[in-house]
């Protein structure tokens, strides 16, 4: 009970001057190019300026991939935020294809330092995101969340999208970025976060993926906590009361420790949390069935939002 009040007060204290503040305007110079079409769907390549300027010009253009049904009228839409360090979107495609088959419009974003946004084509996708200072690491995360907010604003301008039926789906770091954006943005009416967690400085220190990097880089956890202020869903508990979310985590996850997965549940008091067997990487076996469950869940909640 005491912990719950601490979280509530933390959320109540963070109403002003958030590093996730955004003016809500869609990007002024978005470019949209049709890249594929068949009898059912049209696919577009979308680019627009990032909300923040990084040291690398290639990273400051956001790339999105937008797929919409050919059928007339506006469709519910899901913004997909991918895993950070994967060399491709093989995992995300399992969900995207299911969303498309079920009639959703889908926009998936290349996150900072992914794919087209790499400083150099020889650098593995997402690698530069793990910066060697607390300030730069928090900047990269903030850029990710603000780019997601800018993408949400862009979606509300599209005639193919029902602006009242927009959801967010994120996996791993995409779930963390998505949960931060969802905490401060009223555009989405529902979210599903797979393998996500909260209290990011604590997570970074104890994750089997980032913990060794943090220690080797000599990043002070106190400095990381200070740099992360206002970037975590736990900073917005009061505003998150009543927000509908499905959280899907696995029982033996060493990348997203269970304690941090439970903190994400605490950050969204009305959320539902599903626990599955296996670990962060072995959970890939759930791709045989979990995309259908997630898509049905979005259908239920985004239809209700109409």
SS3 167: strand
Q: Is the pLDDT of residue 261 over 80?
A: yes
pLDDT category, 187, cuts 50, 70, 90? very high
**pTM for this entry:** 0.93
The Cβ of residue 134 has, within 10 Å, a number of other Cβ atoms equal to 22
Q: Is the pLDDT of residue 5 over 90?
A: no
Note the pLDDT tens digit of each residue in 59-85: 999 999 999 999 878 999 999 999 987
More reliable by pLDDT, 7 or 206: 206
Q: Is the pLDDT of residue 115 over 60?
A: yes
**Dihedral angle of Cα 191, 233, 210, 91, to the nearest 10 degrees:** 0
- Average pLDDT value for the chain: 92
**What is the CATH T-level fold of the domain 32-304, as seen in this structure?**
Rossmann fold (3.40.50)
Q: Helix-strand-coil percent breakdown of the chain, rounded to 5? A: 40, 20, 35
Q: Is the pLDDT of residue 8 over 70?
A: no
Residue 293: what pLDDT? Answer: 98
Q: Are 302 and 76 in contact (CB under 8 A)?
A: yes
Note the pLDDT tens digit of each residue in 13-54: 444 589 999 888 899 899 999 999 999 999 999 999 999 999
Supply the Cα-derived Rg of the chain in whole angstroms.
18
């Amino acid at each position: 009970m005491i912990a719950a009040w601490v979280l509530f007060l933390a959320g109540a204290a963070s109403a002003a001057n958030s590093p996730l503040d955004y003016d809500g305007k869609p990007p002024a110079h978005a470019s949209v190019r049709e890249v594929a079409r068949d009898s059912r769907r049209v696919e577009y390549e979308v680019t627009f300026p990032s909300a923040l300027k990084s040291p690398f010009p290639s990273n400051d253009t956001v790339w999105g991939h937008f797929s919409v049904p050919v059928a007339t009228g506006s469709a519910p839409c899901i913004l997909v935020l991918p895993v950070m360090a994967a060399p491709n979107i093989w995992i995300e495609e399992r969900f995207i294809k299911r969303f498309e088959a079920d009639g959703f419009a889908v926009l998936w974003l290349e996150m900072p330092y992914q794919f087209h946004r790499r400083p150099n084509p020889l650098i593995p996708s997402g690698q530069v995101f793990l910066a060697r200072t607390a300030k730069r690491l928090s900047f990269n995360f903030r850029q990710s969340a603000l780019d997601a907010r800018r993408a949400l604003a862009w979606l509300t301008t599209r005639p193919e999208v029902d602006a009242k039926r927009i959801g967010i789906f994120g996996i791993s770091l995409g779930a963390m970025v998505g949960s931060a954006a969802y905490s401060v943005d009223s555009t989405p009416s529902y979210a599903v976060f797979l393998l996500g967690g909260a209290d990011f400085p604590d997570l970074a220190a104890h994750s089997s993926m980032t913990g060794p990097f943090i220690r080797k880089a000599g990043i002070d956890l106190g400095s990381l906590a200070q740099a992360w202020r206002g970037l975590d869903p736990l900073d917005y508990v009061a505003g998150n009361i009543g927000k509908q979310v499905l959280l899907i985590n696995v029982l033996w996850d060493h990348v997203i420790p269970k304690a941090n997965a439970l903190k994400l549940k605490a950050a969204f008091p009305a959320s539902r949390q599903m626990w599955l067997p296996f670990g962060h990487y072995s959970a890939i076996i759930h791709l045989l069935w979990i995309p259908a469950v997630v898509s049905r869940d979005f259908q239920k909640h985004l239809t209700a939002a109409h």
